[in-house]
Structure 1
Amino acid sequence: MDTTIADPLVGRLLDGRYRIESRIARGGMATVYLALDIRLDRTVALKVMHSSLAEDPAFVRRFIGEAKSVASLSHPNVVHVFDQGTDGDVVYLSMEYVPGKTLRDVLRARGRLPAREALEIMIPVLAALGAAHQQGMVHRDMKPENVLLTDDGRVKVVDFGLARAIEATNQTRTGMMIGTIGYMSPEQVTTGGADVRSDVYAAGIMLFELVTGRQPYDGETPMSVAYRHVHDTVPPPSSLIPEVPPLIDTLVAQATARDPQDRPADASAMLVAAVDAHRMVPRESSPPYSTGQHFMPNASQPHPQQPSQPKVAAPNPTLVAPRAEVLTAPAGQGGEPPAHRRARSGFRPNWFLVTLAALMVVAVGLTGWYFAQNKYAIVPDLVGRSIAVAKSEAAKNGFVVKVAQGQYDEKMEEGKVLSTDPASKTEVEIGQTITIVPSLGAKRVTVPNLEGLDQNSAAVKLAEQGLKVGKVTKVANPKVQRGLVTQTRPSIGDSVKEGTRVNLVLSAGLVMPDVSGMSKDEAAQFLTEQGFQVQVNEVDDDAEPCQVISQNPRPKAEVDPGTMTSVTVSRCGGGWMDWFGKNNSQAEDQTEFRIVPNVVFKSVRDATTELQQQGYRVRVRNLTNGEQVRFQRPLAGEERPANTTVTIWR
């Protein structure tokens, strides 16, 4: 059966924001999904509470309050909570998606760990708990299943506050205990109460399990294990594994003291002790089944030199169960044999307990039968592998493979696996179909030939290639009609990413130069050279004779080649001296005249210097933006008074 298809939430858009892609795992209280936050375009882990909890108003209220508290807990070793909400009958928590595995997965794969490596995992766990304790928060369900080890070696703690939220549900009543039996402190068992020292107790049990490969207590029923937490003292780890250092024994003993007053005050206090222990624990030789390599959290296989694996505890579901049963020792535990106690105390069987025990035996048997019928496997990580290798790997793990249509991707090489559905590390039934999406590599398109097209036509042609119009500029070009494309950047024929913006250079045709102030003959000559048809009109004006006083089209106007240009000049009759005499009150004999030098074809800089040395003022006008003087006014050889302005055109 395909669990992804069977799950009604897969493919659903939750709360108008979270598109559920696949199911990652199922637990006793919730199911975790991989989802896409379409509003922020990021992958998240979505924890959806089971319907039995979501239907309880008291649980929903407490769940929302706890989610807000956890969201305020910002620490690098805590899985961040982004959002919480409800959508119809669905109550969910949006969290940081942490690719990797749980500490339980590592214990299954490796068995026990060397002391230093165990401390290197516990130190960030205690740092996360310590940060929560400082804000008045208690985890209440600390266990290896709630510790995530990322692919890049980080340690993250998850599910803060969830057990506390469950306390509000109508499914729990006075006299019930909530937590995971293997890590539950004595006070949680007997009173249901939990504080920061309860988390310390659970951390001590975890440390015991890391260095020994098993939990300190086992029993036929959860109640028998709970009884031992209340009445027994956790043995030193070295009693099971002699090479465990005494410092670890001491740390475990302090953390798991039956009286909360005898434990470290909170996780921060235990963190200090753990750091000190790590500093003093020698770098020991590896245990017989290990190669001695330093522990990496992403290890996923048992070591080949391991002849026999220590017993690793089975998965630990969060338990909701009666407390009263553990206050009396289960049969066969503590003190004398059951038959002797019955003989001395007149023991009468408690038929309620007998019936409950029988029901638990039946439930365990049915559970085992169910999981025997429904075998699950983890989808392997196939992304980045060749299609042939990915198909072989998936088939080897018992999956059916389907290759979907390929997709372009900027980062993934062509012919490699881009993605899978279900995603990697998802737990699904053996025999399910895995859809592999191949990468087609980076998609590239060619910049088309746009020369001679107007801007709108160029935009259409670019869109046909999956490209966009970028910046548009105009450059004078007398050879190309105004408004048509003369050049593109990137250039025509270049291979670019789809969606690239292509800059267009359009022809501005002819740009009307400014010839005002030039002599009639020079203006007419220059405009003719530039491709204009020139018409000259003379009028009576107070301006210097034969000087351009206006023009049409106006300067800087964009025009087509061959455009008729009209220039108006002051009448050329008479000479400059006549004009000067009529327009100046000074007598000629009182004015110092100088001969204007010829600066045409000289550099603008040299011409300016020479004219200024002769006592003239200089004004520079642009015609072609060249570096040489093209024209000058007054003309070379004419006499002009000192301090006259000489205009030069370049």
Structure 2
Amino acid sequence: MIGKILGGRYEIVEKVGGGGMALVYKAKCNLLNRYVAVKILRSEFTSDKDIIEKFKRESQAAASLSHPNIVNLYDVGEEDDIYYIVMEYVKGKTLKEVIKEKGILTLHEIINYTKQIASALQHAHYNHVVHRDIKPHNILVTEDNRAKVTDFGIAIAATSSTITNMGSVIGSVHYFSPEQARGGYTDEKSDLYSLGIVMYEMATGKVPFEGESPIAVALKHIQQEPVPPSEIIPEISKSLEEIILKLMQKDQASRYQNTQSLIENLGKLKEDVVSSEMTMMINHEDSPTQIIPRIKEEDIETPKAPLPKNKKGNNKLMIAAAVAAALIAALLFMFGLFYVSNLNFFRTEDVQVPSLVGKDILEAREMASQLGLELSERSINSTEVPKNEIINQETDAGMKVKKGYPIRVVVSAGPDMAQVPDLRFKEAANAPLMLRNEGLSEGRVTENFSEFPIGVVIEQNPRAGSSVPAGSTVDYVISKGPQVVTFPMPNVVGNTRESAEATLRQLQLQIGAITEAPSNEHAEGRVIFQSIPPETPIAQNAVVNLTISTGPEVIDEPEDVTPPEDETPETPEEDQSASATLSTQNVRIQLPGHSGIVEIAIKRVSDGEEVYKRKHDLDKDGHTVVVPLTGYAKQEFELFVNAQKHKNNIVLR
């Protein structure tokens, strides 16, 4: 494939990776002069029409996704039984490689990567696209630690096709959900299960289920509970473990029902110093996307109920335990009653909950403190509510509560911020993509003249590097190239040469060739011809040629030509005496103001007969044309130049 050009523009440069469904190549787009990633469907799948059709359809659907944490899809194509998609080329590592290098990730890293992946899935799910193959191998981590989810199109197409048509499933067995293993209905919560396993691996360096075969691993997804991460890494954050185990529930209804709930819980986690210092290196074999048979119900083992032992003895034991529990409960109740009575609990004053929505968090804290209440705060990003303003309170205003009661409030953290990319001096065609990659969109796009090439961005607002709310628009100006100013050509005919040249220089026009020619109309030294006619629209630096008069035209004396002896000249019947002599004379015709090829015709006035007609190249032969004319003395001829009659006739002498 190296060196092959797909679609007439994507030149394959090198192979950069591959999986169970496709091979990935780095390619250069010769049209936009940039590098892209080209993913090519493996040849073993190109014979299945259903897979190919779904591949095309779902790849195009995935290409409609636009999110900073999703690898952009640019194009989909087919050529010589090669089915390919063209994607954004991301320079960096896969999350799998990051895990292999670090062994175990810090709590901060786990939260950071998970929130970005969840944000990408939230966008995809909103657009009714389910990934179905979430795994560290399909998460690209850029050099600035941005996570980008890839492999949308092929995973969707292959999975849906093989489930319905072949009784098999395609996916990464270590990461897919129990419903995928059964070949059943998959939805957004299936992606969340896989994300839970990715978090498990980031936190422990291991996947939760291993086996001798893909079938064995798939059965464990269905039947077995995972080993809690804290049994592998005792220092792990308890809250993080709870999130991971909730994501990995076998029952879809027991998991997070959407990515928003997951993102909110991640926001509550705090940095765990102990977990950030863990550096244990653990190796793990890659988990490729592959085809495995669908797990049937008969393959799933049903746990057997334990056999009852010594029923009578068990009953006595249960009665004794119940009596002991009742005594302990009574003692605890009496102790608690005594304790709270000493604290005057029942005499504590009731407090009315104030309305805190719309107030600044500092003001709300002061109000709560004066009333003897506490605030339980959590923050979320908001583009509608200003930063530090309370969006919502879970305890309704006006309720009566005891002092010290915690009032739960949601505080705006302001909009999620994005950094404005530098669009200046970049091709305008690439600007929308650059903005989308940062979570921004294009605003007002205008054009203006500049010294820069046409189609280049010359201005932008906001400026590059500034921080703005995600989803903001960026205005930019595109160059129309240098502005061409035109003005009417002045008339310099009749001016002196010096005056004409001064006029042309003042208008920043270039003086071209200057020639000379006789003129009966203009005195010597005056302009008789300009190459650009007056009033013609011209721009600066245009070249103007001039012709200068040498004075009145001088017609040379004709040369007598004696006719050959064997030829008897014809004597006209009228207007000529018998004694008149027929002669041939060379007549010089001056043609100032003409250039290029001209047609010269000469007619005898007495009878209108055309005695000469020929074309002359003045640029080659000069502006003086010599024409031989035969006639009697004082005979008159008319001169035509390009079918236009000259004002002066020719008279033979």
TM-score by length of 1: 0.48
Q: Which has the larger radius of gyration?
A: 2
Higher relative contact order (CA closer than 8 Å, sequence separation 6+): 1
Greater share of strand: 2
